[in-house]
Every structure is written in C-alpha cells, then in structure tokens.
C-alpha cells in the first residue's frame, strides 16, 4: 500500500519502521521538514517528505500528531483522494492538549477529530503505549500477542487498518463504529493495558463512559506524584490496577 504518516515522533516513527519493513511504500512528514527526520525512522525504507506533499495519491494517511493539532491538518487532507483511508492515533489529555470544550463535555474524541479534519477517520494504535508499540509486537499467530482495537464507520477502511495493525505486530480487534470508540479512550480498561484479543473484548464491553475521564486524570496525577520514573511493566500494572 501507499502509506503516509504525518508526525515522526514516538508513534509515527515506529509505524514508519514497521510498515515499511512489512513491504509498504511509506512517506513520513513532520513540521520541521524532511531533513529533520531521524535516520532510525527511515532505516527500513520510509522516505521523509514535506507534510504538504504527503497526502496526495496515498491509500492510507496515518495522523500521529498531538490531538489538538489535527484541525491544522484539514487543508492537507483536502488534497487526499476520497478513497484515502485516514487514521487517527490520538488521545486527549487536558493537561497536554488544553481545554477542548466539546470533548470535555463528552464528545467522542475521534468524532471531534473527524469533524475538525473534515473527513472520516479510523481510530487505531491509540490504545497502546509507545513502548508497547515499539517493543512488544509479535508475529501473527504468537500465543501471547497483544491486541489493539480498531474503530471506524467504513467496513472497507476498518479492514484496511486492521491489516496494518496486524502487520505492525498486534492482533487487530474489530471495535465497530467510531461512535463507540470512547471504549478505547484514556481511562478505560482497554487503554494501555496490553490485553490479548479475548481480554480486550471484555475490557471494551466493561468500559464506562462517564467514569473514564476521572480515571484518566487520577492516573495522570498518580504518575505525576511518583518519585521515580516507573518501568514499562510498572506503568502497565498501574493502568490495569485502576480497573481490576
């Protein structure tokens, strides 16, 4: 597939490596220009480009930028074909993304994203820590493979992204329509808890929309108050303990 990734940080950089390794034609862009993209991001074949040239004639465009930045990408996405699948990897954290009234009032994050991007999105790769995505991927069929939810309204687009999630090292769980994607937002049991397919299904069903923002904020407070940086394993254990 012809894939572009906007955002070359922890999430975009990892996907650039994984998806080009899987044989896709990958372009990657950031704000500071192609020359600023780190060599390790392009080590498996992804090509750095300007954001302005990243959205034309692509099968998939993955947005790996901070949540609140997405409205700035509307013009870039207007240059993409109608058939291009757009993927939203973002999460809303008030402390990092500022107060966004509609989302604070309960609008599903990816519905806000697609409204401000001016096109439909598929939500994927948002519910795993960057370190999980970078280090914990396994080949298809591995018995203890971590699963990631994929939500979106178009069956074709969701299936396309599920294939890419699989190729990035994770089982893809069909999480249905975008309006239900609050079940994979911060503060829910499915969020950054490294579950297998079956456990993930239960976690998504167990999510409680009204409780998630408070759980998200409590976890952020908890992490902020720790004296030492928790290990990856400790971080996942703390996330799980908030629900089980």
Check the CA dihedral 35-37-42-43 and report its sign. Answer: positive
Of 203, 129, 202, 138, the closest CA to residue 171 belongs to: 138
Helices first, then strands: H and E counts in the chain? 10, 8
Whether 84 and 55 have beta carbons less than 8 Å apart is answered as yes
187 DSSP 8-state letter = T
CB nearer ligand NAP, residue 30 or residue 160: 30
Return d(Cα 27, Cα 20) in angstroms, integer.
9
Q: Among all residues, whose Cβ is closest to ligand NAP?
A: 9
Q: How far is the CB of 117 from ligand NAP (least distance, A)?
A: 12
Q: What residues numbered 121-180 form the site for ligand NAP, per CB under 6 A?
A: 126, 129-130
- Minimum separation from the CB atom of position 66 to ligand NAP (A): 5
Q: Which two tokens stand for residue 197?
A: 């397919």
The minimum distance between CB 215 and ligand NAP, in angstroms, equals 17
Least spacing, CB of residue 93 vs ligand NAP, in Å? 7
Residue 39, judged by CB atoms within 10 A of its CB (0-12, 13-18, 19+), counts as exposed
- How many binding residues for ligand NAP (CB under 6 A)? 24
Kindly state the smallest distance separating residue 133's Cβ from ligand NAP, in Å.
Answer: 7
Does residue number 50 form part of the binding site for ligand NAP (CB under 6 A)?
no
The residue (of 12 and 137) whose beta carbon lies closer to ligand NAP is 12
Contacts of 105 (CB under 8 A, 6+ apart): none
How many C-beta neighbours within 10 Å does residue 29 have?
26
Query: Whose structure tokens read 């303990």?
Result: 241
The answer to the question of residue 65 lying near ligand NAP (CB under 6 A) is: yes
**Of residues 196, 108, 194, the one with CA closest to residue 151:** 108
Ordered DSSP codes for 57-76: T-SEEEE-S-GGGGGGGHHH
Sole window of 39-47, 89-97, 149-157, 177-185 interacting with ligand NAP (rule: CB under 6 A): 89-97
User: Among 4, 20, 84, 89, which residue sits at the site for ligand NAP (rule: CB under 6 A)?
Assistant: 89
Window contacting ligand NAP (CB under 6 A); options: 4-12, 38-46, 176-184, 206-214: 4-12
220 forms part of the interface with ligand NAP (CB under 6 A): no
Q: Stretches 8-16, 116-124, 165-173, 219-227: which one binds ligand NAP (CB under 6 A)? A: 8-16
Residues that bind ligand NAP (CB under 6 A): 6-12, 29-32, 51, 64-67, 69, 72, 89-91, 126, 129-130
């Amino acid at each position: 597939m012809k894939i572009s990734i906007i955002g070359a940080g922890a999430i975009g950089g990892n996907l650039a490596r994984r998806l080009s390794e899987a044989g896709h034609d990958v372009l990657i862009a950031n704000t500071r220009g192609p020359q600023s993209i780190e060599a390790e991001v392009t080590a498996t074949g992804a090509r750095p480009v300007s954001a302005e040239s990243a959205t034309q004639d692509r099968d998939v465009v993955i947005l790996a930028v901070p949540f609140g930045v997405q409205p700035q990408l509307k013009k870039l996405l207007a240059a993409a074909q109608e058939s291009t699948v757009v993927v939203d990897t973002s999460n809303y954290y008030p402390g990092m993304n500022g107060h966004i009234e509609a989302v604070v009032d309960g609008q599903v994050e990816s519905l806000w994203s697609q409204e401000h991007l001016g096109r439909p999105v598929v939500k994927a790769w948002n519910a795993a820590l960057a370190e999980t995505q970078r280090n914990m991927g396994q080949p298809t069929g591995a018995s203890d493979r971590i699963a990631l939810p994929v939500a979106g309204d178009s069956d074709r687009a969701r299936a396309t992204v599920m294939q890419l999630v699989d190729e990035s090292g994770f089982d893809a769980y069909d999480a249905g329509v975008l309006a239900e994607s609050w079940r994979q937002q911060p503060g829910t049991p499915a969020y950054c808890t490294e579950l297998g397919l079956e456990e993930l299904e239960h976690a998504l069903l167990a999510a409680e929309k009204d409780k998630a923002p408070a759980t998200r904020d409590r976890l952020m407070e908890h992490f902020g108050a720790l004296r030492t940086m928790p290990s990856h394993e400790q971080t996942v254990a703390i996330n799980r303990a908030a629900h089980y």
